[in-house]
Amino acid sequence: MEKFFKTGKAAKFLGVSNSTLNRLAKNGVLIPVKITKKGYNLYSETQLREFKGRDIDVPDVVENFKGDTYKTASHIQTASKPRQNRVTECENGVTMPSVENKNGDKNQEILSKTGTIPLQTVQNRVKNRDTECENGVTAPSDLSKKCDIEEVVNSDVSVVCSDVTVVQIIPSNKLVMPNDKFAKDLFNCSHDEYAIVLQNGGEVVEVKKFPKVGEIVSPYEIKLLDGYSDTLPLTMFDRVVLTACISEWCKGNKVTTPSIIFRHITGNDNGYNIKPSPEMERAILDSVNRMMCTQVTYEMDSACKHLKYNNGQYFKITAPILPCQYSSGIAVCGQETKNVIEFYRESPILSIARAKNKQILSFEKKLLNVPKQHNTIDNISVKHYVVQRVLEIIKHHLTPSITFDDIFKKCNLIDADRRKKSRARTEIIELLTYMKNSGDISSFTLKKEGNKYCSIEFSFSDSSSAVSEITKKAKGGYKKNQKK
């Protein structure tokens, strides 16, 4: 019969202090298999023996993230542990991290036995997902199989107890955002434009003028799956939620929760007690539902041939925007929730951006954690878009100016009342002030046309590591650094 230990005896078994064991649990390194009704943490003897035998420096919790090559301004250093640089990006893309799973075979076997109950609207598709997509790629039917496009090292499954699988993961501290033209266009359609795309498909203009060829376009189709009938267009908030899910996938985590997504999209990293309000959780789950029931087919022929996307090889992909399902019987980091989101393959939005010579942005989520801001759907959308534009401008050395009208259009605020727009402007100023104080930009000024604020201009230091690295000639053919 399995023996269980409370925190004190478990710490003595491992030869560490109670505070060290509690810190390991808080950081997701060693999660208790049970929590009693009185709130006591319980660890199994098998779990402790396996952990004791692992090659881990118990007092130190170190995240195995290889990171990206580009770095930005350093931020305030804590007394105990320096922060990593927050804005990073590879040459025109991102280096995907990997997480080593030292109990791989056993953990995979446990995870593959996990009972899953998919959302009703996608039940048929999840049951039959061992079928080949139009691009000739088979989606795996269980988590013990490898992904078709990118091999993802699995999360660490610690132990199964009382029919609940305890999944031990460390959420990503970086956000990975596909940033090609398709990702931008897809989440910025008007109602009329989206209705046309649903009926007739659409096209992405990859290049307007290419020598001897002219305009290069890539056709795509959007299809609603399994009786899903919501024809509202995808929004910036949907893109934000997708970014959070993609970030977890790239970290190697095959499951996530609304709370983890919430901490990603708000930039909050103060521990597992930060949870969304019921209204925000519903908004996150509605977004997940929309994307898991919306299938995209994207084809690149001319772009691959002339722009050398996908190494010049023909590319076509068909998959749900967010390939996932809801699963039961899983406790993530010691907390069981009814809405565990389980990924079964890579998002086609990420696959497309990677095929386009890695048109991907990567940055630390703390960049979004502006003090004393109320995180509404509008606020979250605006913060993500402004950060995206700032990073684009720094990377590609564009004119350092962002218009309020562009922000309002991209974040569905163009028809908002004056009060809501005024509040959004205030939040944008607070965000840029936060970035200035953190050293990500040097300064910014508000520009007026008459009595109306129309745009923001900002500057960044040529001596910063972000500028010196990002403005080098990139693989995508961007020009070398130009002095401002």
Res 170 pLDDT > 70: yes
Handedness of CA 448, 446, 359, 467 (dihedral sign): positive
Mean pLDDT for 29-36 is 77
Q: Six-digit token pair at 31?
A: 């999660």
In 3D space, the residue among 363, 356, 125, 94 whose CA is nearest the CA of residue 244 turns out to be 363
| pLDDT for the residue numbered 1 | 65
| pLDDT for the residue numbered 42 | 85
Confidence of residue 87 (pLDDT cuts 50, 70, 90): very low
CA-to-CA dists, residue 341 to 18, 56, 234, 358, 423, angstroms: 32, 29, 20, 26, 33
| pLDDT for the residue numbered 284 | 97
CB 427 within 8 A of CB 379: yes
| pLDDT for the residue numbered 129 | 39
CA–CA–CA angle 309, 310, 313 (5° rounding):
100
Most confident of 50-54, 73-77, 264-268: 264-268
By three-state DSSP, how is residue 350 classified?
helix
| pLDDT for the residue numbered 328 | 79
Confidence of residue 102 (pLDDT cuts 50, 70, 90): very low
DSSP conformation letters of 361-379 = EEEEGGGG--TT----HHH
Q: Six-digit token pair at 354?
A: 């990677």
Distance (Å, whole) CA 420 – CA 335:
37
Range in 121-125, 411-415, 439-443 the model is least confident about = 121-125
Res 442 pLDDT > 80: yes
Confidence of residue 151 (pLDDT cuts 50, 70, 90): very low
What pairs with residue 402 in β-bridges? 456
CB 242 within 8 A of CB 258: no
Confidence of residue 470 (pLDDT cuts 50, 70, 90): very low
CB 251 within 8 A of CB 172: yes
Average confidence score pLDDT of the chain: 76
Confidence of residue 135 (pLDDT cuts 50, 70, 90): very low
Distance (Å, whole) CA 63 – CA 167:
16
In 3D space, the residue among 187, 296, 293 whose CA is nearest the CA of residue 237 turns out to be 187
CA 430 to chain centre: 23
26-42 burial code (b ≥16 CB/10 A, e <16): bbbbbbbbbeeeeeebb
Res 123 pLDDT > 60: no
| pLDDT for the residue numbered 37 | 62
DSSP conformation letters of 372-433 = T----HHHHHHHHHHHHHHHHHHHHT--SEEEHHHHHHHTT-TT--HHHHHHHHHHHHHHHH
Mean pLDDT for 381-408 is 94
Mean pLDDT for 381-396 is 94
Mean pLDDT for 83-96 is 41
| pLDDT for the residue numbered 91 | 38
Res 65 pLDDT > 60: no
pTM: 0.67
| pLDDT for the residue numbered 33 | 77
Handedness of CA 298, 302, 306, 312 (dihedral sign): positive
Confidence of residue 80 (pLDDT cuts 50, 70, 90): very low
Q: Tell me the per-residue pLDDT of 312-338, one tens digit each, with 9 for 90 and over.
A: 999 999 999 999 999 877 888 777 778
| pLDDT for the residue numbered 89 | 42
Percent of the chain past pLDDT 90, that is, above it, reads 51
Q: Six-digit token pair at 41?
A: 């943490």
Res 223 pLDDT > 70: yes
Handedness of CA 266, 267, 271, 272 (dihedral sign): positive
